[in-house]
């Protein structure tokens, strides 16, 4: 009897201490919870409600149901923005992943100065997108820009990069790939350094060359990293805005108008808050669908140890 009472007292004591620790834990989490509710969850819920309304800030919101969604699916401007966003995504992701992987292989060497090269390649990642866009807009200048100046050395008359409907989006893609290489390179570098050296030694003993080692060892071993980079790249590419806003303002002739740029124009130029919210939620479902599609089929090409 006495032993049972002592056990109950100990259990009550532990539960009391646990309760106090839990309260302190929630207390320290409270600022983060308040911030999440204030700046994320509540605004998202409000935007979902506004997507079902006609709202221009100056007048009260009027519920219109799915009218905004049906309208944006028929709007040629939004369809063009979706096409441009897909064009940008298909241009940035494959080239960015392939180049960053080979760049990671190059800097994964045991050389004395390799740390400096890694830092130089990563430097554009921590540079402001605004600053990078301004500098590249100057480089793309058809008269005084260095890119066309170098092309003239080879007898090539460079195009009006940002003023041409044909070249404006490729110009933005080139700049975006250059800026994002360092981030993916560092992730791939960590994956490469986690591959056991014994695998390469065994392959070399069996007579495997560089390409065979890359195809049968490197690619399968970094496939989980590739899957992560692919998911993050898709999410980031569909949300492209800064480059189009700073370098071309969506032009010329809406050749670089993207989904997020359309959200900005409708919300902060035309004050169609309900319509802009509908575009944002359409973009959310597109990104969600693309992510789920990749997750579903990743078992076919992603290999885990």
Q: How many CB atoms lie within 10 A of CB 139?
A: 17
End-to-end CA distance of the chain: 54
Name the residue among 289, 256, 225, 258 with its Cα closest to residue 97: 225
Average pLDDT estimate for 56-61: 88
Residues 169 and 250 in one domain: yes
Helices (H) and strands (E) in the chain, counts: 15, 2
> Is 147 part of any domain?
yes
Residues 37 and 126 in one domain: no
Please answer whether residues 188 and 104 qualify as being in contact, where contact means their C-beta atoms are separated by less than 8 angstroms: yes
Q: How far apart are CA 47 and CA 55, in angstroms?
A: 11
Residues 46 and 74 in one domain: no
Residues 106 and 226 in one domain: yes
Residues 42 and 75 in one domain: no
The mean predicted confidence, pLDDT, of the chain is 89
Q: How many CB atoms lie within 10 A of CB 288?
A: 11
Please answer whether residues 132 and 175 qualify as being in contact, where contact means their C-beta atoms are separated by less than 8 angstroms: yes
Residues 170 and 235 in one domain: yes
Q: What is the pLDDT of residue 116?
A: 87
Question: 180-232 pLDDT, tens per residue?
Answer: 999 999 999 999 999 999 999 999 998 888 999 999 999 999 999 999 999 99
Question: 229-277 pLDDT, tens per residue?
Answer: 999 999 999 999 999 999 999 989 999 999 999 999 999 999 999 999 9
Task: Answer yes or no: is pLDDT of 17 > 90.
Answer: no
> Is 269 part of any domain?
yes
> b/e for 237-269, b at 16 or more Cβ within 10 A?
bbebbbbbbbbbebebebbbbbbbbbbbbbbee
Task: Answer yes or no: is pLDDT of 285 > 90.
Answer: yes
Residues 131 and 22 in one domain: no
> Is 60 part of any domain?
no
Task: Answer yes or no: is pLDDT of 14 > 50.
Answer: no
Residues 78 and 40 in one domain: no
Average pLDDT estimate for 44-62: 92
Task: Answer yes or no: is pLDDT of 132 > 50.
Answer: yes
Residues 194 and 81 in one domain: yes
Name the residue among 87, 93, 138 with its Cα closest to residue 254: 87
> Is 61 part of any domain?
no
Q: What is the pLDDT of residue 260?
A: 95
Task: Answer yes or no: is pLDDT of 84 > 70.
Answer: yes
> Is 64 part of any domain?
no
Question: 92-127 pLDDT, tens per residue?
Answer: 999 999 999 999 999 988 877 888 888 888 999 999
Q: Which residues fall within 8 angstroms of residue 5, CB to CB, at 6 or more apart?
A: none
Question: Which residues face 54 on adjacent strands?
Answer: 62
DSSP line for 142-161: TTT-HHHHHHHHTT-----G
Torsion sign (Cα): 277, 278, 280, 285? positive
- The DSSP 8-state label assigned to residue 244 in this structure reads I
> Is 57 part of any domain?
no
Residues 31 and 172 in one domain: no
Q: How far apart are CA 241 and CA 260, in angstroms?
A: 6
> Residues of the chain with pLDDT > 70: what percent?
94
CATH number, domain with residue 282: 1.10.3720.10
Name the residue among 116, 120, 28, 91 with its Cα closest to residue 240: 91
How many domains does the chain contain in total? 2
> Is 36 part of any domain?
yes
- The DSSP 8-state label assigned to residue 162 in this structure reads G
Q: Which residues fall within 8 angstroms of residue 254, CB to CB, at 6 or more apart?
A: 77, 80, 81, 84
- The DSSP 8-state label assigned to residue 37 in this structure reads I
Residues 81 and 137 in one domain: yes
> Is 208 part of any domain?
yes
Question: 61-72 pLDDT, tens per residue?
Answer: 999 999 999 998
Average pLDDT estimate for 57-86: 92
Residues 155 and 213 in one domain: yes
Which residues span the domain enclosing 260? 69-300
């Amino acid at each position: 009897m006495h032993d049972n009472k002592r056990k109950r007292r100990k259990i009550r004591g532990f539960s009391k201490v646990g309760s106090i620790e839990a309260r302190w834990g929630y207390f320290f989490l409270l600022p983060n919870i308040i911030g999440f509710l204030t700046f994320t969850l509540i605004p998202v819920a409000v935007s979902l409600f506004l997507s079902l309304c006609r709202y221009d800030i100056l007048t009260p919101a009027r519920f219109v149901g799915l009218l905004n969604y049906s309208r944006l699916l028929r709007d040629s401007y939004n369809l063009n923005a979706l096409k441009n966003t897909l064009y940008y995504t298909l241009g940035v992701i494959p080239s960015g992943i392939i180049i960053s992987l080979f760049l990671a292989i190059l800097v994964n060497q045991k050389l004395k100065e390799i740390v400096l090269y890694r830092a130089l390649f990563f430097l554009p990642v921590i540079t402001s997108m605004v600053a990078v866009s301004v500098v590249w807009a100057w480089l793309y200048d058809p008269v005084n820009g260095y890119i066309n100046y170098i092309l003239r050395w080879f007898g090539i008359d460079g195009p009006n990069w940002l003023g041409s409907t044909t070249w404006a989006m490729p110009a933005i893609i080139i700049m975006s790939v250059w800026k994002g290489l360092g981030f993916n390179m560092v992730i791939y570098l960590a994956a490469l350094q986690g591959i056991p050296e014994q695998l390469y030694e065994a392959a070399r003993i069996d007579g495997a060359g560089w390409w065979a080692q890359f195809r049968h060892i490197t690619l399968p071993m970094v496939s989980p990293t590739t899957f992560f980079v692919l998911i993050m790249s898709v999410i980031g590419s569909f949300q492209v805005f800064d480059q189009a806003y700073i370098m071309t303002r969506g032009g010329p002739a809406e050749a670089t108008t993207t989904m997020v740029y359309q959200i900005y124009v409708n919300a902060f130029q035309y004050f169609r808050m309900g319509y802009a919210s509908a575009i944002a939620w359409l973009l959310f479902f597109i990104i969600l669908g693309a992510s789920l599609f990749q997750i579903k089929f990743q078992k076919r090409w992603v290999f885990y140890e």
